[in-house]
Amino acid sequence: MSKKVKGRYCYKCGVQMNTWDVRLTNIFKVYDTCESCFCKIYDMDQDTFRNYMDKYLDERPCQGL
Ligand SMILES: [Zn+2]
């Protein structure tokens, strides 16, 4: 399951970040941003976004996320 990260919140929607969100934030070098906000920014749905990350950046969430 997704692990919540203490004290880290998406600066756009205020949701508490999980480890995957933090990883994405590090990859894109932005303020703390959650996955759903990344999807909005890049205008992709979650599946498309994850496929993109997997294919081009070799990054994927832990199983069960
Ligand atoms: Zn957000």
Ligand 1 (single-atom ion) residues, CB below 5 Å: 10, 12-13, 34, 37
Whose tokens are 């906000």? That residue is 37
**Residue 37 belongs to domain spanning:** 4-57
Predicted pLDDT of residue 44: 97
65/60 Cα distance (integer angstroms):
10
Distance 26 CA to ligand 1 centre (A): 15
Whether residue 62 lies inside any domain: the answer is: no
User: Per-residue pLDDT tens for 27-59?
Assistant: 999 999 999 999 999 999 999 999 999 998 887
Q: How far is the CA of 18 from the centre of ligand 1 (A)?
A: 11
65 contacts 2 by C-beta, under 8 angstroms: yes
Total domains in the chain come to 1
Q: How far does the centroid of ligand 1 lie from the alpha carbon of residue 27, in Å? A: 16
